Amino acid sequence: MSVNPLYHQTNSRLMEELDWIQRAKADPAHFAPLYKKYHVQIFRYVYQRMDDEEMAFDVTSQVFMKALKNLHKYEYRGVPFVSWLYRIAKSELYQAFRDNKADRTVNIDTVQVIGFIEEFDQDENEENRERLLKSLSKLKEEDMQLLEMRFFEKRSFKEIGEILEITENNAKVKSFRALDKLKKIFLNKIE
């Protein structure tokens, strides 16, 4: 599984980022490099979970506004700055769902569908593809976000743990349990 280079950074990159954060705390205009660096991936995270493109851009803007407004509260504790942005994004995203501004959506490629079917040792055909899409729609939110991060967005367990504020090991266990639940639904073992 590939590694997100923007998430797993070298020490010198992390130091550079911390310098930007300190400058931005003193003057919000210095937040610009952080905005440019992370805008695309935060947008993709948001847009992956909703249907409306314009709404996804709006939510992404809200994420950065909130981050800038609360930047004085941010302290580096060995976790990359972007994981803090992801947490804000998650919060803003669910706020948009609660306010009925957007519908929770799962976006998946045919390649990923086939990957799941093969993982479940089933024949790859039209019927099973349909069945898998139906099974995905029946998952609980908690399981869905783990599968999205692990299998759709290819995030490491460390990154998943930092975004969801759980340990790396816990992220691993929960991700496999979520995959197991999807398999059971797919094989009609649970409704």
Determine, following the binding rule CB under 8 A, whether residue 53 of this chain makes contact with another protein: yes
Question: How far apart (Å, rounded) are the C-alpha atoms in residues 56 and 149?
Answer: 18
C-beta of 31: minimal distance to another protein in Å? 7
- Using the contact rule CB under 8 A, the part of the chain among 3-11, 34-42, 119-127, 173-181 near another protein is 34-42
Contact between 25 and 71 (Cβ < 8 Å): yes
Q: Which stretch binds another protein (CB under 8 A): 3-11, 60-68, 161-169, 172-180?
A: 60-68
Distance between CA atoms of 93 and 129, rounded to whole angstroms?
28
Of 75, 109, 121, 127, the one binding another protein (CB under 8 A) is: 109
Give every CB contact of residue 135 below 8 A, 6+ residues apart in sequence.
Answer: 182, 185, 186
In the list 3, 19, 22, 28, the residue contacting another protein (rule: CB under 8 A) is 28
Work out the number of other CB atoms within 10 angstroms of the CB of residue 125: 10
Which is closer to another protein, CB of 68 or CB of 158? 68
Q: Return contacts of 20-24, CB within 8 angstroms, 24+ apart.
A: 21/71, 21/74, 21/76, 21/81, 24/68, 24/71
120 binds another protein, rule: CB under 8 A: no
Gyration radius of the chain over CA positions: 18
Tokens describing residue 72 = 């004085």
**Do the Cβ atoms of 25 and 3 come closer than 8 Å?**
no
Q: Smaller CB distance to another protein: residue 77 or 140?
A: 140
Is residue 170 a contact point for another protein (CB under 8 A)?
A: no
Taking the complex as a whole, how short is the minimal distance between the CB of residue 53 and another protein, in angstroms?
A: 7
Q: Which of 23, 25, 104, 131 binds another protein (CB under 8 A)?
A: 104
Confirm or reject binding of residue 118 to another protein (CB under 8 A). no
Contacts with another protein, residue ranges (CB under 8 A): 28-29, 31-32, 35-36, 39-40, 43-44, 47, 51, 53, 57, 61-62, 64-66, 68-69, 103-110, 113, 133, 136-141, 144, 191
